[in-house]
Structure 1
């Protein structure tokens, strides 16, 4: 099952991936369905791997992706919806 958090643009309920097809090692086309039966919207989406955020421990020499800029990696570490307390803040 998918771990993506996709929301229907019409009714704002969650979307599920019904099926997907690999176009390339870095590109996948997915067909989505709204989980709200009253809405019933369906969509086509594409998921693309664009950057490497951290290096692999088992690198494939044929994989050539740019390393994400430092600002992008830093932003990825920030989660504005995070509810988990920081360990150091919890012990203070």
Structure 2
């Protein structure tokens, strides 16, 4: 499992989510704060679900997102590190 790294645009320190509000099934408003005490910058952010990359194994009929284009799905499937072997590559090796 990976976590999304939020970086302060001012000091490049880590940001933390102080609180968040769900405004819609696909939209969440978050209030962020830099963890660098000297910087202390804070902001409001929006996290929006925009496209489906793969279907759910437990589909909810009320969830209707457009399917992502193939180029977006390929980008999402890229590994962070070229040193990490793909599971299928490991089986064939």
Q: Report if TM-score (shorter chain) is over 0.5.
A: yes
| Cα offset, 1:5, TM superposition | 0.6
Counterpart for residue 66 of structure 1: 66
Would you say how many aligned residue pairs link Structure 1 and Structure 2?
88
Distance 1:13 1:71, change over 3 A: same
Matched residue, 1:85: 84
Distance 2:14 2:82 in 1: 20
1:1-58 CA-to-partner distances (Å, cap 9, x unmatched) read xx32110000001100000000100000000000100000001000000001000000
Unpaired stretches in structure 2, ≥5 consecutive residues: none
Q: CA RMSD in A?
A: 1.8
TM-score (normalised: structure 2): 0.85
Residue equivalent to 1:49 = 49
Distance 2:31 2:82 in 1: 31
Taking the aligned partners of 1:83 and 1:18, their CA distance within structure 2 comes to 34
Structure 1, unaligned runs of 5 or more: none
Distance in 1, Cα, partners of 2:37 & 2:78: 34
TM-score normalised per structure 1: 0.86
**In structure 1, what is the Cα distance between the partners aligned to 2:83 and 2:28?**
31
SS in 1 for 2:29: strand
